[in-house]
Amino acid sequence: DAGVIQSPRHEVTEMGQEVTLRCKLISGHNSLFWYRQTMMRGLELLIYFNNNVPIDDSGMPEDRFSAKMPNASFSTLKIQPSEPRDSAVYFCASSLELGISADTQYFGPGTRLTVL
């Protein structure tokens, strides 16, 4: 298995532009997590899905951020409009299932976003 795939790996954009980050889950996994990492705040959970349904989006910073799962194996995280403070590394992770006591999350390589 190729593992969790994220694209693009690097994105540089200007303030005000729309940014779309993409994530492909590991085949057979039903849960999807989006994280953001900055020096100041560390690794933060933004939102997670189970069986394509958003379960908890309390970590999404504001309405400029939105995430979707158009199908069981793919997710997008969109920022519109982007701001310099959105600059960070964005990771997605997948796991087999929620609701079990022991489940492992597998992380992608991340997308490094720079908003100028």
Q: Is 103 in the site for other proteins (CB under 8 A)?
A: yes
Which is nearer to other proteins, 83 or 103 (by Cβ)?
103
Beta partners for residue 78, in sequence order: 20, 66
Q: Per the structure block, which two tokens stand in for 37?
A: 């990492």
Q: Is 70 in the site for other proteins (CB under 8 A)?
A: no
> Of residues 29, 48, 75, 113, which one binds other proteins by CB under 8 A?
48
User: For 35, how many CA atoms within 13 A lie in the half-sphere containing its CB?
Assistant: 18
Q: Is 31 in the site for other proteins (CB under 8 A)?
A: yes
- Is residue 85 within 8 Å of residue 20, measured between CB atoms? no
Among the residue ranges 14-22, 69-77, 79-87, 88-96, the one whose residues contact other proteins (CB under 8 A):
88-96
Phi, psi of 85 (to 5 degrees): -70, -5
> Of residues 88, 95, 113, 115, which one binds other proteins by CB under 8 A?
95
Q: d(Cα 76, Cα 70) in Å, to the nearest integer?
A: 8
Minimum distance, C-beta of residue 62 to other proteins, in the bound complex (Å): 20
Q: Per the structure block, which two tokens stand in for 63?
A: 């309405």
Binding site for other proteins (CB under 8 A): 4, 31, 33, 42-45, 48, 50, 55-56, 91, 93, 95, 98-110
